């Protein structure tokens, strides 16, 4: 049995049009094969496009990481503000005569903020008014700087503003 490459069609061998087409096909195939052998490596446009794609991916990754850090910081600030606002309201409800001395205070939400400390400072503002400053200081994990939320109010003996 003959292989496919050895099978000949006598009708095509005698046809001059087929011989010309066959020559063009073979010459184009040889030309393309030689071009492919000469072309090694990447073109400049391929390198530029791949660098651009890698840059975009790195930018998106950095944006996602940065947004998660900002979300964590924002959450801690919101909780600290809630704690300070609650403490100020408790002190206002108690009135001038029930103001506790300066020092720290506790709150059930304080455990949700990493490395948090609280301070309450009560100082005289004038004869019938005291100034109260409530501060929460914490340090986020992985950050060297500390963050602070501080609220202040005036509480008078008679109520209202001085």
Contact 77/150 with Cβ under 8 angstroms?
Answer: no
CATH of domain 44-156: 3.30.1300
H or E element that contains 14: helix 10-14
Looking from the CA of 17 toward its CB, the CA atoms found within 13 Å total 1
Within 39-130, residue ranges assigned H as helices are 44-94
User: Domain ranges in the chain?
Assistant: 44-156
Specify the pTM. Answer: 0.61
In a 3-state reduction of DSSP, which class is residue 149?
Answer: strand
Percent of the chain with pLDDT over 90: 41
pLDDT tens-digit series, residues 52-100: 999 999 999 999 888 888 888 888 899 999 999 999 999 998 888 889 9
């Amino acid at each position: 049995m003959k292989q496919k490459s050895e099978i000949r069609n006598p009708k095509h061998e005698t046809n001059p049009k087929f011989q010309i087409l066959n020559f063009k096909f073979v010459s184009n195939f040889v030309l393309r094969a030689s071009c492919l052998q000469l072309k090694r490596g990447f073109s400049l446009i391929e390198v530029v496009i791949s660098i651009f794609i890698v840059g975009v991916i790195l930018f998106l990754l950095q944006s996602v990481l940065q947004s998660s850090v900002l979300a964590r910081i924002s959450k801690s600030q919101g909780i600290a503000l809630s704690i300070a606002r609650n403490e100020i309201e408790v002190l206002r409800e108690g009135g001038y005569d029930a103001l506790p001395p300066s020092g720290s205070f506790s709150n059930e939400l304080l455990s949700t903020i990493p490395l948090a400390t609280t301070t309450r400072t009560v100082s005289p503002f004038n004869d019938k008014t005291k100034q109260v400053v409530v501060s929460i200081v914490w340090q986020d994990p992985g950050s060297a700087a500390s963050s602070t939320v501080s609220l202040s109010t005036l509480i008078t003996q008679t109520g209202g503003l001085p």
